[in-house]
Structure 1
Amino acid sequence: MLGKIALEEAWAIPENFQVYDVSSLAPKGVIGGDLTANLLDVHGTRLQQMDENGVEMMVLSLSSPGPQGATDPVKAEALASLANKRLEAEVMAHSNPGRFAALASLSMHDPVQAGGELRRCINERKGFVGAIINDFQSAGDDKNTMLFLDRPECDAFWSVAEELDVPVYIHPREATPLVFEQMWKDRPWLAFSALGYAHRVGMHVLGIVTAGVLDRFPGLRIVMGHMGEHIPYDLYRIDHKLNRARFPDMPMAKDKLVRDYFGTQLFITTSGHFSTPALLCAMQELGAKSIMFSIDYPFESIPNGCVWFDEHVPIASRDLVDIGRNNALRVFTRLRGSPHGEVEYGLYNKDWSKRLERR
Structure 2
Amino acid sequence: MLGKIALEEAWTLPEASSSFDPLSLAPKGVIGGDLGANLLDIHSERLSQMNENGVELMVLSLVSAGIQGLSDRSAAENLARTANDALEAAVLQNPTRFAAMSALSMHDAAQAAAELRRCMTQKRGFVGCLLNDFQSAGEDGNTMLFYDAPEYDVFWAAAEELDAPVYIHPRSATPLIQAQMWKGREQLAYSALGYANRVNMHALGIITSGVLDRFPGVKLVLGHMGEHIPYDLYRIDHKLNRARFPNMRMRKDKLVRDYFGSQVFITTSGHFSTPALLCALTEIGADAIMFSIDYPFESIPNGSVWFDEHVRDSLNSRDLVKIGRNNALKVYPKLKETPHELKEMTPSECGVEGLKTDEGEVEFGLYNKHWSKRLIKQ
Choose the corresponding residue for 2:188, options 183, 187, 190. Answer: 190
The residue number in structure 1 matching 2:7 is 7
The TM-score with structure 2 as length reference comes to 0.91
**1:164-179 to 2 correspondence within 5 Å?**
164-179=162-177
CA contact (8 A) 2:335 2:342 kept: no
Matched, 1:69 2:63: no
The residue number in structure 1 matching 2:376 is none
Query: Structure 2: 5+ residue runs without aligned partners?
Result: 360-378
Matched, 1:341 2:344: no
Matched, 1:202 2:205: no
**1:83-117, CA deviations, whole angstroms, 9 ceiling, x for partnerless residues?**
000000000012xx110000000000001000000
In the alignment, the residues of structure 2 paired with residue 259 and residue 342 of structure 1 have an alpha-carbon distance, to the nearest angstrom, of 30
Report the CA distance between 1:22 and its aligned residue: 2.3
Report the CA distance between 1:249 and its aligned residue: 0.5
**1:188-224, CA deviations, whole angstroms, 9 ceiling, x for partnerless residues?**
0000000000000000000000000000000000001
The residue number in structure 1 matching 2:98 is 100
In the alignment, the residues of structure 2 paired with residue 176 and residue 46 of structure 1 have an alpha-carbon distance, to the nearest angstrom, of 31
SS of 1:93's equivalent in the other structure is coil
Report the CA distance between 1:273 and its aligned residue: 0.2
Question: Alpha carbons of 1:136 and 1:51: their partners in 2 closer, same or farther (altered >3 Å)?
Answer: same
Matched, 1:330 2:333: no
CA contact (8 A) 2:9 2:296 kept: yes
**1:255-287, CA deviations, whole angstroms, 9 ceiling, x for partnerless residues?**
000000000000000000000000000000000
Query: Structure 1: 5+ residue runs without aligned partners?
Result: none
Report the CA distance between 1:15 and its aligned residue: 1.3
In the alignment, the residues of structure 2 paired with residue 343 and residue 238 of structure 1 have an alpha-carbon distance, to the nearest angstrom, of 36
In the alignment, the residues of structure 2 paired with residue 101 and residue 301 of structure 1 have an alpha-carbon distance, to the nearest angstrom, of 20
Report the CA distance between 1:355 and its aligned residue: 5.9
Q: Work out the number of aligned pairs and report it.
A: 350
In the alignment, the residues of structure 1 paired with residue 147 and residue 18 of structure 2 have an alpha-carbon distance, to the nearest angstrom, of 24
**1:94-133 to 2 correspondence within 5 Å?**
94=94, 97-133=95-131
CA contact (8 A) 2:336 2:343 kept: no
Report the CA distance between 1:344 and its aligned residue: 7.1
Larger Rg: 2
The TM-score with structure 1 as length reference comes to 0.96
SS of 1:126's equivalent in the other structure is coil
In the alignment, the residues of structure 2 paired with residue 166 and residue 181 of structure 1 have an alpha-carbon distance, to the nearest angstrom, of 36
In the alignment, the residues of structure 2 paired with residue 98 and residue 231 of structure 1 have an alpha-carbon distance, to the nearest angstrom, of 33
Matched, 1:303 2:301: yes
The residue number in structure 2 matching 1:218 is 216
Report the CA distance between 1:338 and its aligned residue: 0.5
Structure 1 runs of 4+ off > 6 angstroms?
Answer: none
**1:303-342, CA deviations, whole angstroms, 9 ceiling, x for partnerless residues?**
0000000000111101100000000000001001100014
In the alignment, the residues of structure 1 paired with residue 230 and residue 64 of structure 2 have an alpha-carbon distance, to the nearest angstrom, of 24
The residue number in structure 1 matching 2:374 is none
SS of 2:87's equivalent in the other structure is helix
Q: Which amino acid aligns with 2:301?
A: P
Report the CA distance between 1:239 and its aligned residue: 0.3
SS of 2:9's equivalent in the other structure is strand
Report the CA distance between 1:348 and its aligned residue: 2.3
Report the CA distance between 1:73 and its aligned residue: 0.5
The residue number in structure 2 matching 1:315 is 315
Choose the corresponding residue for 1:282, options 267, 280, 283. Answer: 280
Matched, 1:292 2:295: no
**1:112-138, CA deviations, whole angstroms, 9 ceiling, x for partnerless residues?**
000000000010111000001000000
In the alignment, the residues of structure 1 paired with residue 270 and residue 80 of structure 2 have an alpha-carbon distance, to the nearest angstrom, of 25
Q: Which amino acid aligns with 1:2?
A: L
